[in-house]
Structures are given as C-alpha cells and as structure tokens.
Amino acid sequence: MSYPLPILVQTPAHSQVGGPLSWLSEQTLAPGTLVRVPLGKRETLGIVWPVATPPAPVPDPVRLRPITDALTALTPLTPAWCQLVDFAASYYQRAAGEVALAALPPQLRELGSEQLARRLKRQAAAPAPSATEQAPTLTPEQQAVMAQIEAQAGPFLLFGATGSGKTEVYLRCVQQLLAREPEAQALVMVPEINLTPQLEERFAARFGAEAVVSLHSGMTNPQRLKSWLAAHSGAARIVLGTRMAVFASMPALKLIVVDEEHDPSYKQQEGARYSARDLAIYRGKLENAKVILGSATPSLESWHHSRPEAEGGRYVRLHMPSRVGDGGALPLVRRVDMNHQPKHAVFSPPLLQAITERIARGEQCMVFLNRRGYAPVLHCSDCDWKSECPHCSAYRVFHKIDRTLRCHHCGFTERVPRACPSCGSPDIRPMGRGTEKLEEHLAELLAEVRRPDGSPVRIVRIDADTTKLKGELEAQLAQVHSGDVDVLVGTQMIAKGHDFRRITLVAAANPDSALFSSDFRAPERLFSLLMQAAGRAGRDAGISAQSEMWVQTQHPTHPLYDNLKKHDYPGFAAQQLKEREQAGLPPFSFQALVRAEARTQETAQAFLNAASALGTEDAVALNVTLYPAVPMSVQRVANVERAQMLIESPSRAALQRFLAGWHDTLHTVRQGPEGKGLIRWAVDVDPLAI
C-alpha cells in the first residue's frame, strides 16, 4: 500500500506552485520529516508538510512518483516551525517551499539518509552549559529591568543608552532561563556578521563554548550544517546569529533576543523579503517564548508599539538611561558649523586640534563616513565627463589603492584611464570623498603628530574593502582593542555594537546628505547612526568625562542635531511620529512595493500599470491605494531597467487581503502581452526604502 505525502520543495518563485506537491511513500511519515524526492530530471530535498486532512492510501497509483529517500535519522521539524514558514510565506507573498528550503543549511540539501546518519553519529551531544565567567553585579536599573522581564509576558522593548549594559541583561535572562529549564534554548540575533564574534566570545565565556553556536551566511557550508544540527537536536542551548537565524530549528525555544532591533539589516532584500525582527515577535507568540527587542535608538515602529497600554501599546517598554560604571556619562555633542570654516576643509581646525590632543594623551579617536572607496566619482573638468557605469544608472567609485573604477551595484571594474575617455584630457580628478581618501588626508594632516612614546600616529581603516579576506575584521578590531590604533576610520561597520574602551572622540565627517532625502526614513536612520556612533566614545567610566562627539555640518540648527546634542531619542521620535501621522506614513499606514525588472523601462512600467488597472476595483473596495509605476531610485543595474509601484492602506489586514487576491492577477498579466520582455517581478511587504 502506498501513501501520498504532501511535500514542500523549492519551486521557482514565479511558478505559481506555492504549496506542497504529492509523492508516494510506502510508509506514513510524520509532518516535518525531511525526504529526498525526484523533481523533473533531478533529485531534491523536500519536507513532509502538515495539512488539514491527511491523505488516504492510494491502492493503484498512476501518476504519482515515489520518494527516493526518507531522512528519518533526523527528528522531524516541529509544527511551530512549519507554521512560522507558512506565515512568512503568506505575509511576504512568497512560495512556502522557497521560504522553508532556504531556511535549511545548503549542505543538508545534498545529503542522503546514510550520509546524514554518519554525520549525526559524529555530532556528539554537548554537555550541559556551565558558567565559566564571574558575572558582574547588576546596576539598580538592570535589576529593575530583569524583575519586569521575569514578571511579565512581553514582548519587551529594552530602550537602553549605549553602554547601559543591555548585553548583560541578555546574558542574565539566558542564565535564569537555563537555571529554571535546563533543556530550554535561547536565540540571540544581531544585525550584522561582524558583531557575532565578540558576542559569541561573551556568551562562551559565561556558558561554555559547547553550549553556544553561531548561524550566519559568513560561515562555510559544513560549519552551518554543524551549527544547525546542534540547534535542531537541542545540544546547542544558545544560538547566535543574523537575520537568517530567526528560522533556526530550535525545538525547545523559550527566549528570543533581537539586539539593535532598529537596524535595517534585519530586513532581507532578496528572495523572500522578510523582517527577522517582526518574525521574531510572531515566533515568540507561536512557541510561547519571551521576546526582547533591544536598542538605544529603537525603530519608530517599535517605539510606537511600546506606548502605554492605555494608548494601545503592544510591547512593554523597559528603560535603562544610565551607563554602567561610576560616573559613566554620554559624550558631549559638539556641532561644527562648516559654513564658518575654511573653504573645502575636510576636517575643521577645531576638530583637528581635538584629535591631536587625544592622540598626545594616548587616547583613541574614531572618524566615520558612510561611503567607502577613495571618491564617489572621477571627473574631467574639460568636457564634464564622469565615471558613469556603462551598465547602471550610477557612477563607478574611484578606489585609489588598486587604481580601479568600481561599480558598487553590478561590480563592473576597470583600471583608471590615463586620460579622459571622452576628450583625451589628462586633467581627470576625483570628486567628493570616501573612507579611503579620508584616511589618506588624515594621515597627511597628522604626519607631524606623535604618540606619547614618540612614535608616529597609527591610522586604521575598516570598511567592506579592507575586510574582504577571512579573519581581516577580527585582526583589525583586535588592534583597536589593544591600543595599537590611534585613529579608526570607517563606515557604519564601526559605528554600532562594538565595545571600544579607549575611544574618547567620535567625529562624523559629512552626515548632512540624509537630512533632505526623498526617503522619509532617512532622518530616522541618520539619527540612529549618529547616536550609535556617539555611543562608541567614553565607554570606560574612567575616561567618559572627556568623551565627545563632533558633528561637522552645514546645518547646525537642524532639529535633528538639537535632539542629538541632548541625546534625546524620545523627543526625536515624538517629532518624527507626529510628522508621519500627519502624512499618513508608517506606522500609521501599511505599505507594499511591487518591483518589476525588464530590458526597457517602458516594459517594466507597462507591466505594473496593467496589473494596477486590473486590481483597481478590489483596491477601492478594500480602501487600498495603488500609485502609478515609477522608475526606482537606481533605475538601471547590470543593463536591467527597474520600476516600482507603491501600494498603501490604513489597514494591514486590508492590504494583506488585497495582495493575496491580486497575486493571481500579477501572474495573469505576466503571461499576457504586457508581460512580454519582463524579466522578473517581486512583492516587498513593509519595505524599508521607497
């Protein structure tokens, strides 16, 4: 007797196969069991999927193919995990198979039952976690927060100043959980890979290295499989990871921590465009796990949801305004009006003097500019040629260190020409500046400055260009922590999450561009970045009194800088939320973007406008607004034209109902004349960039 099994496989995003397909099995297999099945001419990994009505045995199968292998050595994925995948696929408008299979480690998709059994045999069970590091005494604020987390169900928004000891609260929450439930598991997420090593070090020191595993895309496939299996079996009590870790299989999950919850890196930008922060909240409800969102500058959505309960707040707001340590103070914020400084000055004389004084005292400084490379563009003054990318509607960035022009969108790279390609003039020069140029210029300005021991100043640059090789980032951060670096130059990679104990001065070289951006979220991102950067200064209570944040700006009286000077996030959030409410923007409305890519802009926009016309009637009935299609901000990438259409509604439920019903319309238009020449389309629910 054979049984038809509903099995989820990774189908193409636009195949219109969103749910499970059927294969035959000689035995009934529990939902969540991994199997290998034939699909076309290849064999692929699938998951036996839970359905409302179990299929009846098939006495005379005709068309269904049998499964190839059942990976029964592995415990089935839990019903809660399957429900999380179903929700994510439905909410973010993707196929369930695409979400589910992408959440599994790549190497698992290649293993048969015998190979997996051998692998599991080698995977020794980890011993129970044991504290190996003496925990510090909690501050009164930390104690009060811990008491609230213990007494209430949450979710919690931990609003704590930089250096207030949020990580220690996470450690204590995990410690209490494991003391109460030794078999329980905790998931701790950070926004970026470069923040995982220091966090793993702290958790391993407290609980033992055997109890902690990491999960992120920077790991090799064997490493990811090993960590995933440890989490799935329950051997790993603590999983640290980036956004992908929200889908980690953890059958005993009881605590989820999302550190730096405001960070846009938690939003996936390719494939299923999910928000790991929002899915963490949903997963906490599914699995009855407590969820803690932590940040010194919470996202405006989370801040809005943590209003008092009487005003409809859904999160419990916890506050830790003080830094750990006697007298640990937040840095003094100084605004430098660049309108009154020497023309074309990169560093104002007062800032340069302050950096020189810090170096002479043996202290460290940090200068950040959120633009890597030497200069954003190369320019010919004779004919006005600029280093445009031939494949994108963007400029290629000049990288002086290897004399290349590099497009940061498509990757196209060429050697810098000796003369202007347009008119032949040798007078081509860089315009603007990136971190590479900033580092070079700073080295020139500080050439005569000496450290306390008489040696020259040491400057290190940390950005995506200097940390490409494995181990480079860790080595450079170790230099900073050991005091071998006097000035650290970099992008936002260095502005958040790192515990630099010797830095007393942080400088923002040119932050004004975000003040007048067309993106309504730009001020929020800028304020968050500046607050996070300021938090790198004065983290040691012994030197915090002289710590400073310098902001060089053409608009020193801007309200954003006023709030920054007072370290007043609540004031900034109140002003921003008031503006958004008046404009009907999130979190007071809900949005989705439909993006289309084609060989011509006309084709991309025609597809979107045709789909819009067919959905107008349903949109009006549900109070959903469909805006006309427009080119994306970077209109062309790798010779592909890109357009987008905004969909908006005051009701999240109405927007979801519309998108669910409109999905078939998009497929229909794709098959019609308006879809001719279209390469791909995708829906982005709750987009972070419009």
Tens of pLDDT, residues 37-59: 998 888 899 999 998 766 555 55
**236/118: higher pLDDT:** 236
Give the model's pLDDT for residue 469.
75
Give the model's pLDDT for residue 175.
93
Give the model's pLDDT for residue 56.
56
Please tell me the distance from the alpha carbon of residue 510 to that of residue 554, in angstroms, as a whole number.
9
Give the model's pLDDT for residue 4.
85
Average pLDDT along the chain: 88
Give the model's pLDDT for residue 585.
94
Tell me the mean pLDDT in the region 279-301: 95
Give the model's pLDDT for residue 131.
56
| Domains within the chain, CATH numbers bracketed | 3-121 (3.40.1440.60), 140-320 (3.40.50.300), 332-372+435-582 (3.40.50.300), 375-432 (no CATH), 590-685 (3.30.70.100)
Residue 186 has pLDDT above 80, yes or no: yes
Contact residues for 416 (Cβ-Cβ < 8 A; gap 6+): 378, 398, 403, 404, 405
Of 2-6, 480-484, 573-577, where does the model show the most confidence?
573-577
**438/79: higher pLDDT:** 79
Residue 327 has pLDDT above 60, yes or no: no
What's 612-636 look like in SS3? Answer: HHHHHHHHHHHCCEECCCEEEEEEE
Give the model's pLDDT for residue 623.
95
Write out pLDDT tens, residues 206-253.
888 888 999 988 888 889 999 999 999 999 999 999 999 999 999 999
Give the model's pLDDT for residue 511.
87
Tell me the mean pLDDT in the region 77-93: 94
Residue 125 three-state SS:
coil
Tell me the mean pLDDT in the region 395-421: 89
- Among residues 212, 293, 228, 210, the alpha carbon closest in space to that of 255 is found at 293
Among 103-107, 114-118, 263-267, 644-648, which is the least confidently predicted range?
114-118
Give the model's pLDDT for residue 569.
94
Give the model's pLDDT for residue 87.
95
Among 75-84, 172-181, 319-328, 396-405, which is the least confidently predicted range?
319-328
Of 42-56, 124-138, 646-660, where does the model show the most confidence?
646-660
**62/352: higher pLDDT:** 352
Give the model's pLDDT for residue 1.
60
Give the model's pLDDT for residue 89.
92
Tell me the mean pLDDT in the region 160-167: 87
Residue 413 has pLDDT above 90, yes or no: yes
Tell me the mean pLDDT in the region 198-212: 88
Residue 670 has pLDDT above 70, yes or no: yes
Please tell me the distance from the alpha carbon of residue 110 to that of residue 43, in angstroms, as a whole number.
9
Give the model's pLDDT for residue 462.
84
Residue 646 has pLDDT above 80, yes or no: yes
Tell me the mean pLDDT in the region 81-108: 92
pLDDT confidence of 438, banded at 50, 70, 90?
confident
Residue 607 has pLDDT above 70, yes or no: yes
Give the model's pLDDT for residue 80.
96
Give the model's pLDDT for residue 212.
92
Q: Is the dihedral of CA 511, 512, 515, 518 positive or negative?
A: negative
Please tell me the distance from the alpha carbon of residue 493 to that of residue 641, in angstroms, as a whole number.
30
Give the model's pLDDT for residue 541.
58
Residue 12 three-state SS:
coil
Residue 130 has pLDDT above 80, yes or no: no
Strand partners, 44: 37
Give the model's pLDDT for residue 165.
87
Residue 128 has pLDDT above 60, yes or no: no
Instruction: Take residue 523 and report the two structure tokens written for it.
Output: 């001020």
Contact residues for 123 (Cβ-Cβ < 8 A; gap 6+): 226, 229, 230, 233, 235
Give the model's pLDDT for residue 12.
65
Cβ atoms of 395 and 368 closer than 8 Å: no
pLDDT confidence of 624, banded at 50, 70, 90?
very high
pLDDT confidence of 640, banded at 50, 70, 90?
very high
Give the model's pLDDT for residue 315.
94
Give the model's pLDDT for residue 581.
94
- Among residues 268, 293, 196, 287, the alpha carbon closest in space to that of 238 is found at 196
Give the model's pLDDT for residue 286.
95
Tell me the mean pLDDT in the region 23-35: 89
Q: pLDDT above 70 covers what percent of the chain?
A: 93
Residue 300 has pLDDT above 80, yes or no: yes
Give the model's pLDDT for residue 174.
94
Residue 262 — φ and ψ, nearest 5°? -75, -15
Contact residues for 115 (Cβ-Cβ < 8 A; gap 6+): none
pLDDT confidence of 543, banded at 50, 70, 90?
low
Q: Is the dihedral of CA 349, 355, 356, 361 positive or negative?
A: positive
Give the model's pLDDT for residue 678.
92
pTM, whole model, 2 decimals?
Answer: 0.90
pLDDT confidence of 124, banded at 50, 70, 90?
low
Tell me the mean pLDDT in the region 666-688: 91
What's 135-184 look like in SS3? Answer: CCCCCHHHHHHHHHHHHCCCCEEEEECCCCCHHHHHHHHHHHHHHHCCCC
Tell me the mean pLDDT in the region 389-408: 89
pLDDT confidence of 539, banded at 50, 70, 90?
low
Give the model's pLDDT for residue 133.
67
- Among residues 76, 175, 108, the alpha carbon closest in space to that of 135 is found at 175
Give the model's pLDDT for residue 480.
81
Cβ atoms of 490 and 435 closer than 8 Å: yes
